[in-house]
Structure 1
């Protein structure tokens, strides 16, 4: 196939916003082979391994842990690379979601000499990441899992128990909503599990208070600013910068920069963020323009489609009157956002192969059997995914109504 057909950088912005990035079209087998080789190189010989989500909160945890082990990477080569990207005026935004960060991580990790290995992961790749650790980590290695909550224990049981057998320390720091039975099983496996209140703490907060180390003030401030974004407080403008920077760059670069500078990013990073933000704002506007609003139970649900920043789009939909927002992505996944009027995002997501927080969750409906399904997805702006997710909203609304009726009946009989 002509490679230019899967590169969207030259397309008009509106058309580009309807399609996934270049990385989406790479076969999983190639990604898996590459991912395993990178993981092996990072894990072998390490004194500690961190499996963490690749957003600002998860990467804040790796910055803390590397500080604990005195294993932070030299930040200067990363800053020089950023300057080079700016001077070349590269249009990296076009395929940032799936391609750019993946390529950057491969290059950065191959040059990494940190004794604390970083495995950027997520809910859907957690089992695979733990299998890599179980396969390649040396006996006595310390292992940390950060900012990820598994939906069920059975999927991670085998690699986690293998890791616990070879490791002197396995710690898990998170702040998501955990099913009680999963938390119990992880604890019974011998893991030091610390789950913070998702309304009060981010995972970086949890790691900061759980690690036995006297951290410099910049790390305390980093946790505070990370929390500001991760809990959608939005009181500190720096938190938006951290979130965007983590999304646009490699995990290794982000961890090195915030480890050295904390929440006060250096000027060259500020310039880079400003450069990337121009197109980001245009994509947000397109997604908000596409939105439709549905009345479901007691809620107004705003639903839209596009390659965009889901948090800002959700803000736009809620400003237009939505209690909840659904942002369906060209890759097939979706983000569900709530607020004061809707705190059941995780319940909706769990019905469509996802999970998360009461006010923020993610999912990827199991509706894509072949490329024809994806072709329909792109040309209809996510019609099937929207329909499946809205149906989940209706089921949750019915459950909420049934619970309210039951509570009323109980109150009347007392």
Structure 2
């Protein structure tokens, strides 16, 4: 197949918005081979390994842990590369476009390795670290929550058996049984209040180290975006920068500069936001609004920044927003009037927070299903997720009916 057919960077924006990134089209077997090579190269000789979600929150944890081990990378080579990209108008592709080759060679200079993972493949990352890392090291798992313990059981127990310690920091909604099983496996698990803390907050207070105010501020600004507080303009800068650049670059820059990104990074973010805004506009223009129970749900499709799209749909009257992505996953965002996003996601093979959750419906059996997904702008996924909203609405109605009425009691004198 011609490589140009899967290179979304060559497409007009209107078509790029409808299709997944280049990395989607690589076979899992090829991805697994590359993942094995990347993890093996990263962890060999490391004194500690961070397994983290690769958003600003997970990467913020990595910056803290490298500071703890005095293993931060020199930011100067990354700053020089940013300037080169801007001069050449050759921005690094979005992470979903990358073929996930190992991050910058500078990663080899840090004694704290960074291994990326997501909620649906955390067990694979743990298994690879268990296989390739040296005995007696420290392992940190950050900003990840397994839906069931059996998903990570074998890999986690293998890891615990040959490393010195495993510490797990998170702020998602953990099931009591899952948390208990992880702790019983020998893991020091700390789960923060998902309404109050991001995982960087949890790591900051859990690590035995006197972090400077710069790192405290980094945690606060990361929280501002991760919990969708949005009172600090810098939080959008961090989130966008983490999304658009290599993981090692982000960790090195925030470790050196904290939440106040250097001018080169800010210039790069502004450069990329032109296309980001156009993709947001396309997704918002496709939105439909459905009434489910007592809620209005805005539903759309596209390759876009889901948080900004959700905000735009809320401004148009939505209590909740669903953004179905070309790769098959979906983001569910709530509001003050809808705090059951994680309950909806749980019905569709996902999870998350009351106001922010994600899922990937199990409806894609072959490439024809994906072809239908792209050509119909996610119609099947939308139906499945709206059905989950209906189930949550039914539960809410039953809960309301079960609540005893607050009846006044007359007293005779």
Aligned mate of 1:202, from 157, 174, 198: 198
What is the 5 A alignment of 1:38-117?
38-90=38-90, 92=92, 96-100=94-98, 102-103=100-101, 106-108=102-104, 111-117=107-113
What is the 5 A alignment of 1:305-384?
305-384=301-380
What is the 5 A alignment of 1:11-410?
11-90=11-90, 92=92, 96-100=94-98, 102-103=100-101, 106-108=102-104, 111-408=107-404
Task: Using the TM superposition, give the Cα deviation of residue 91 of structure 1 relative to its aligned residue in structure 2, in angstroms.
Answer: 5.3
Task: Using the TM superposition, give the Cα deviation of residue 188 of structure 1 relative to its aligned residue in structure 2, in angstroms.
Answer: 1.1
2:358 and 2:84 map into 1 onto residues whose CA distance is: 34
- Which deviates more, 274-283 or 129-138? 129-138
In structure 2, the gaps of 5 or more residues are: none
1:295 and 1:408 map into 2 onto residues whose CA distance is: 27
Secondary structure in 1 aligned to 2:31?
helix
Secondary structure in 2 aligned to 1:385?
helix
1:305 and 1:123 map into 2 onto residues whose CA distance is: 22
- Does the Cα contact within 8 Å between 1:49 and 1:116 map onto a contact in 2? yes
Secondary structure in 1 aligned to 2:96?
helix
1:346 and 1:64 map into 2 onto residues whose CA distance is: 28
2:328 and 2:105 map into 1 onto residues whose CA distance is: 28
- Which deviates more, 51-60 or 17-26? 17-26
2:84 and 2:224 map into 1 onto residues whose CA distance is: 31
Task: Using the TM superposition, give the Cα deviation of residue 322 of structure 1 relative to its aligned residue in structure 2, in angstroms.
Answer: 0.3
Given the two structures, how large is their TM-score scaled by the length of structure 1?
A: 0.96
Task: Using the TM superposition, give the Cα deviation of residue 246 of structure 1 relative to its aligned residue in structure 2, in angstroms.
Answer: 0.3
1:408 and 1:205 map into 2 onto residues whose CA distance is: 39
Aligned-residue CA RMSD (Å): 1.4
2:364 and 2:273 map into 1 onto residues whose CA distance is: 31
Q: Deviations over 1:373-413 (max 9, x none)?
A: 1111011000000000000100111111112212238x78x
Task: Using the TM superposition, give the Cα deviation of residue 21 of structure 1 relative to its aligned residue in structure 2, in angstroms.
Answer: 1.1
- Which deviates more, 236-245 or 17-26? 17-26
Q: Deviations over 1:58-113 (max 9, x none)?
A: 00000000000001111111111111111110255xx524123834xx14157522
- Does the Cα contact within 8 Å between 2:290 and 2:297 map onto a contact in 1? yes
- Does the Cα contact within 8 Å between 1:288 and 1:313 map onto a contact in 2? yes
- Does the Cα contact within 8 Å between 1:41 and 1:110 map onto a contact in 2? no
Moved over 6 A (4+): none
1:16 and 1:162 map into 2 onto residues whose CA distance is: 42
- Does the Cα contact within 8 Å between 2:95 and 2:245 map onto a contact in 1? no
In structure 1, the gaps of 5 or more residues are: none
Secondary structure in 1 aligned to 2:357?
strand
Secondary structure in 1 aligned to 2:332?
strand
Given the two structures, how large is their TM-score scaled by the length of structure 2?
A: 0.96
Q: Deviations over 1:30-51 (max 9, x none)?
A: 1110011100111121110110
